[in-house]
Structure 1
Amino acid sequence: MNTQERIQSLFVPRKKLSIPEWCEANLTLSARVTNIPGPYSTQLTPYVKEPLEAFGNDSIRRVTLVWGAQTSKTTTILAGLAYRLAERPCPALWVMPSEQLARSFSETRWLPMVDDCPALAKERPIDTDKIKILEQHFQKMSLWFVGSNSPANLSSRSVSLLMLDEVDKFSDGSSSKEAGALQLAEARVATYPNHLIISTSTPTTADSIIWAEWLKGDMRFYFVPCPHCGHKQKLLWEQVKWDQSAKLSDTEWDFGLVKSSAFYECVECKGQIRDGQKTKMLRDGEWVVTNPKGEPNRRSYHLNGLYAPWVTFGSLAVKWLQDKNGILGLQDFVNRILAEPWLEHETERVEIKPGAYKMGEIRMGEFPVMSCDIQEAGGFHAWAIIRAWDNEGKSRLVWAGRLETWGDIQAKAEEFSVKAAAVFCDSGDQTRDVYLNCCKNGWIALVGSDKSSFSEIVGNAKVQRPYARIANGDPFSGKQTMSKAGWKWKLCPVWRWSNPAIKDILANFLKTEGWVAEDTPSVYFEHINAEAKVRVKNPLTGRERMVWKQVGKNNHLMDAECMNIVGAALHGKLKVTAADLNAEEIVE
């Protein structure tokens, strides 16, 4: 090349990169933020390209992602936000179910990504105090992370880019006069005509927020070609098959054989599609609009967990069987893997079938758990349950009834050899008194919550549990402190637990024979039948949902049963989260 050609080459316009191409050229994911570190790539997940392009398309106002587990949903939004920071800066707001989760996400996922990518790191301001965990002012862009449980933070700023993460777990405003978190957040973009709202979540029920958002859009599915006949189809769970000889009984399976024999059957030619063929299918796939009459400027994308390139059909089959036969049922699989809503029904009173045993006996190898619903009305008393749990999550009712004093609780625990750390007391009533006695005796305080679950980031993943992280309660908060000599603890361990989630688990347990003894007192059944799941409408939003409601006078033993389940879970005797889904890298 001569001198003239070199000079001319300097003025040749550079090829404009698409947003996916820009992300691949500029983003690096370290081991701090992903299980697959290295340069960002869409090679294994080509389905993310079209949603990514929305971050630069001024004709799109809303994008809804209803995606299953391990499909790179969150990483895709992170990549889009990174592009905006470097190339199209604008005020942005990322909303998560709680401030704790938003703080953890910003600190462990977003900020490490900024540090690891030169194209983002150069946007940091000279004044380092401008970058905080929840509020970040880059050179040309401001970004906030907030929890949906903070109406003040949601309504305090205007933004052009709004990201709503896990909207089905947002506060709906039903407990206050404030509007729901979704309505408050969406109002923040009103002053920006070219705004973009990204909504994501795994759905919960058919009347959930994300499912309603999905139905309003153009409802796009990712169609992939069969490697045998070329027929393009969306992946459906009912097409996953495995060797039926792996079935050992009605509830037992040879999971090794299930996993190794599983395949996907083409709906057209019935050909067997194996895991190693999925990667090429994804590369040749395309998004197809199925609702052309959806609201204009609104796109909605549905992608279930079958598309995840690092999850095998066998792993999914094993999880489905484990969930199907587990006490939690298939809701987690339907919601989190299939990315579909769970169809709930109002509860019917079931016949509780007693087992062939009587109360009062702790057998060898069983672990007794005692739970007490503390009451103040009519004078102090407690309704208590003692269950004997084995290591397989099964239990027997060994005592149920009313106790009149704290000393009675201690005596009953000693009678059945219940360890101090296996005595659980409700702290929703007479909180300080409960904390005081828990500190003195080494017991654990519990408090119920109306939240459907509690979120936290474990490693690089968001985890949903029916109980929160442990907290501490001070029995002398605001009071003169007494001597704590000889106490088990100075502060009382306190666990919050989800009323709706644990009651759903209890409802499943009540259907199993042997949950109660032959001589269970009649008052137990009176309390258990004092609550039912019914359909109610939120007066502020008009949305209907299924909730547990008290329909009888006393439900204290039901609450005690719920706390017993929580106690068994905390001691590792019962698994109250769905079966794990193991990711495995697929090779071509």
Structure 2
Amino acid sequence: MLIKGFLDALQPEPILSVSQWADQNRLLDSKSSAMPGKYRTSITPFLKEIMDHLGEYSPVEEVIVMKGAQLGVTEAGINWIGYTIDVSPCPMLFVEPTKEVVELVSKTRIQPMLESSPSLAHKVKPPKSRDSGNTLTKKEFPGGILRLAGANSAAGLRNMPVKRLMLDEVDAYPVDLDTEGNPIDLAKKRTSTFAKRKIFILSTPVTKGLSVIEPLFESTDQRYFFLPCPHCGALQHLKWENLKYQYNKSSKVAKEVYYQCEHCQEGIQESEKTKMLESGVWIPTKPENQNKKRVGYHINSLYSPLGWKSWEDLAIEYEEAIGDVPKMKTFYNTSLGLTYEESGDKPQWEALYDRREDYPRGKIPTDEIAFLTAGVDIQKDRIELEIVGWCEGKVSYSIDYRVLMGFVAGDGSAQVWQKLDAVLNETWIRPDGTQMSIRMMCVDSGNWSSEVYAFCGRYPPSRVVPIKGRDNQITIISAPKAVNVTRKNKSVDGVKVWHVGVSLLKSELYGWLRVNPGDPGYCHFPMYDEAYFKGLTSEELITTKNKNGHTVQRWVKKFTRNEPLDIRNYARAAAHMVGMDSFSPKHWELMRNKRTGAVKNKVKKKSDFWN
């Protein structure tokens, strides 16, 4: 017995799995979690297998997860970081889409984990101590180092070799990084010298054809989390089409919500989900793709634990997204964990031309219009703009389309900009006598940027903003970025440029151009000529390959002049900035009944740029 006890003592302590480590050591603080306290894998049992394949004992080298949002998958990756620091130290790289996201995650998730989990607190020195090796982008610990980098920086992806690599939200990465190639490929090359490397790739998907995570997932054995029906015991993975409910549109309430078993057709209540999750199992649906070194998982928000996002919440979110492309895209991406297929088929311009309405250009035809916006496109020898009136349900009326002639830069350019300024000072009269002026103007700054920034810089950003279009942006508007323009030793400070997801808006507009009168999003037009409607439908979405062989989607012009399409989308972006996408019926009523008269054109600051 003594000899056996001596030999047992010589045995190395077994290395924990990632989920075991998290359950024993991870503490969540109130800064980084809505559920502070001890981490419990039992709350999200679908993460156990994913985490454990990232540990030392698993032969798997690459774990791929296509997911909905707020399911704890990134938190599982944070657990993996803690596990690496504590029990399996080695060089590790953590990549987020941008440097700004890296810094946010470092501050709000990684550093709180280091401070609140006792087993980690002594292994990474406090960031404020001298020579701590603890910065926003670097965490040194005995036996290893954690580097954090943005996917938009090639320098951060081609330095030291790493044994472990976590690539978070890869669908937000740039397709080509500084002409050096795909950032995912650049980062994965850093692991090539290690025999037992581990790579964790996860993302909420975006647009079909542009998504990176979808083809990666489809190349794997495609595992889904199968749950037993509490009535018949048969296994199934949760699908949106099997969620049943009654929706009251006026009160925006979903009632009688249940999940219908695909085998016995019995209704499953959400209160039964916790027990079902405890008995869940990951099953490959494409066994022909099985590879012991590479596995793929899909999980959607129907699996969200009780107290997180409910089935009722999902039903309401879906119903509110019907007829609204940006909202439906968000629902597909973040709730279902699926790509959204944009409609890029050109509407027939002839059909739009034939449905023109006999209301005067430059006049507001109905009291239903709540506010006006303008989209502005800048050309070398002219400025083109459209004024659009918006009604409840995102129904729109084109009020006027104008071309202001004059060179926008150089000697004599002041005149054409003064014409644009005059448009801001115009008022339109609704049939009920209400005076209206342009609530928000978006001006394209893709060309002649300094002139656009100078013009916009004279007005408050609540009235006029410079914008730039981005094809691959998944939101209507991104956070603004400051610019500083100097021309002829005169500077324009405090101007911020807003990026617009033009591909998303083109797809939304093409959908609206197909709906029937009275439906949400319907577009009304006065008696414009053929050229306007050809321009409005001038582009088509095609799928092609880029120079690196990756599938991409791009909009291609089928008609020479596409200004009407661009300008309409800029006016739509302006409506989003006014807040239209979050208006309630009561808010629409308040906007319609507002009788404050014209918005006064206050100049933000003095400028002699145009003198």
Q: Same fold (TM over 0.5)?
A: yes
What number of residue pairs does the alignment pair up? 540
Partner of residue 232, structure 1: 235
Distance 1:50 1:159 in 2: 23
Name the residue aligned to 2:114: 114
Instruction: Go from structure 1 to structure 2 and tell me whether the alpha carbon gap of 1:325 and 1:372 turns closer, same or farther (over 3 Å shift).
Output: closer
1:297 maps to 293
Note if contact 1:123-1:139 (Cα within 8 Å) is conserved in structure 2: yes
In 2, Cα distance between equivalents of 1:441 and 1:254: 40
**Residue matched to 2:472:** 452
Q: Which amino acid aligns with 1:480?
A: N
Deviation at 1:517, TM superposition (A): 2.0
Q: Among 198, 202, 205, which residue is 1:203 paired with? A: 205
What letter is aligned with 1:193?
A
What CA deviation, in whole Å up to 9, does each residue of 1:13-71 have, x standing for no partner? 87764431221121111121122222111122111111111121351110011122222
Q: Offset of 1:510 from its aligned partner?
A: 2.4
Match of 1:398 in 2: 399
2:339 corresponds to: 341
Instruction: Pick the aligned partner of 1:276 from 271, 275, 285.
Output: 271
2:586 paired residue number: none
Amino acid in structure 1 at the alignment position of 2:31: R
Query: What whole-Å deviation, never above 9, does each CA across 1:534-562 have from its counterpart, x for those lacking one?
Result: 1221121x232322122221112221111
Structure 2: distance between partners of 1:341 and 1:179: 23
Q: Following the alignment from structure 2 to structure 1, what is the Cα–Cα distance between the partners of residues 442 and 219?
A: 46
Instruction: Report matched runs for 1:57-76 at 5 Å.
Output: 57-76=57-76
2:526 aligned with 1:526: no
Asked whether 1:373 is paired with 2:377, we answer yes
Contact 1:94 1:145 in 2 (8 A): yes
CA deviation digits over 1:445-480, x for unaligned, max 9?
A: 333243523xxxxxxxxxx63322123333326x51
Q: Match of 2:25, as an amino acid? A: N
Give 2:480's aligned residue: 470
1:415 equivalent to 2:435? Answer: no
Distance in 1 between residues matched to 2:54 and 2:157, nearest whole Å: 22
Q: What amino acid sits opposite 2:489 in the alignment? A: Q
Change over 3 Å in CA distance of 1:420–1:356 after alignment to 2: closer
- Aligned CA distance change for structure 1 residues 160 and 113 (closer, same or farther; 3 Å): same
Within 2, Cα distance between the matches of 1:36 and 1:354?
56
1:433-454 CA distance string (max 9 Å, x none): 111122234453333243523x
How is 1:49-128 mapped onto 2 (pairs within 5 angstroms)?
A: 49-56=48-55, 57-125=57-125, 127-128=130-131
1:516 partner letter: H
CA apart distance, 1:426: 1.3
Among 539, 544, 560, the residue aligned to 2:567: 560
How far does residue 276 in structure 1 lie from its aligned partner after superposition?
A: 0.7
Question: Which structure 2 residues correspond to residues 186-197 of structure 1 after superposition, within 5 A?
Answer: 186-197=188-199
Q: Distance between the aligned counterparts of 1:201 and 1:66, measured in 2?
A: 5
Secondary structure of the 1:534 match is strand
Q: Which residue does the alignment assign to 2:505?
A: 502
Report Cα offsets for 1:486-532 as digits up to 9, x if no partner: xxx84223211122122222222323445132323433213212211
Instruction: Give CA deviations for 1:162-194 in whole Å, capped at 9, x if unaligned.
Output: 111111222111x85321111111111011111
**Partner Cα distance (2:556, 2:70) in 1:** 35
- AA of the residue aligned to 1:393: K
Q: TM-score, normalised by structure 2?
A: 0.82
**Quick one: structure 1 residues 150 and 490, their matched pair in 2 at CA, closer, same or farther if it must change by over 3 Å?**
closer
1:168–1:472 Cα change, 3 Å: closer
Find the aligned partners of 1:492 and 1:19 in 2 and give their Cα distance: 47
Deviation at 1:394, TM superposition (A): 3.0
Q: Is the 8 A contact 2:42 2:278 kept in 1?
A: yes
2:576 maps to a residue whose letter is A
TM (norm. structure 1) is 0.85
CA distance in 2, matches of 1:205, 1:438: 32
Deviations 1:316-352 (A, max 9, x none): 1222222223243633333322223334554133333
- In the alignment, what sits opposite 2:489? 480
What CA distance in whole angstroms lies between the structure 2 residues aligned with 1:553 and 1:563? Answer: 19
Matched AA of 2:299? L
Cα distance in 2, alignment partners of residues 169 and 37 from structure 1: 29
Secondary structure of residue in 1 paired with 2:41: coil
Q: Which moved more, 1:124-133 or 1:185-194?
A: 124-133
Q: Is the 8 A contact 1:55 1:84 kept in 2?
A: no
Residues 252-309 of structure 1: per-residue CA shift (max 9 Å, x gap): 46532x2x31100111222211111000100011111233332331111111211111
Q: 1:158 aligns with which of 157, 161, 167?
A: 161
Distance 2:47 2:299 in 1: 10
Distance verdict in 2 for CA 1:131–1:176, change over 3 Å:
closer
Measured on the aligned residues, the alpha-carbon RMSD in Å equals 2.7
C-alpha contact (below 8 Å) 1:427/1:434 kept by paired residues: yes
Partners of 1:343 and 1:441 in 2: how far apart? 38
Equivalent pair of 1:23/1:79 in contact (CA under 8 Å): yes
Correspondence 1:135-150 to 2 at 5 A:
135-150=138-153
Q: 1:331 to 1:469 in 2, by over 3 A?
A: closer
Structure 2 unaligned residues grouped into runs of 5+ = 406-415, 429-435, 584-611
Q: Which amino acid aligns with 1:255?
A: K
Task: Tell me if the contact between 2:68 and 2:300 (Cα under 8 Å) persists in the aligned partners.
Answer: yes
2: CA distance between counterparts of 1:218 and 1:337? 22
Map of 1:461 onto structure 2:
none
What is aligned with 2:411?
A: none
Q: What is the CA distance between 1:311 and its match in structure 2? A: 2.3
Cα drift, residue 12 of structure 1: 10
Give yes or no for contact 1:320–1:333 (8 Å, CA) kept in 2: yes
The alpha carbon displacement at 1:128 in A equals 4.8
Residues 345 and 516 (structure 1), Cα distance of their counterparts in 2 relative to 1, 3 Å cut? closer
Rounded to whole Å, the distance in 1 between the matches of 2:206 and 2:20 is 34
C-alpha distance 17-439 of structure 1, shift in aligned 2 (>3 A): closer
Distance 2:402 2:256 in 1: 51
CA distance in 1, matches of 2:46, 2:502: 38
Aligned equivalent of 2:317 = 319
Larger displacement relative to structure 2 (14-23 or 222-231): 14-23
Structure 1 residues 205, 431: closer, same or farther in 2, change over 3 A?
closer
- What CA distance in whole angstroms lies between the structure 2 residues aligned with 1:206 and 1:433? 37
2:455 pairs with 1:437: yes
Range with bigger deviation, 264-273 or 15-24: 15-24
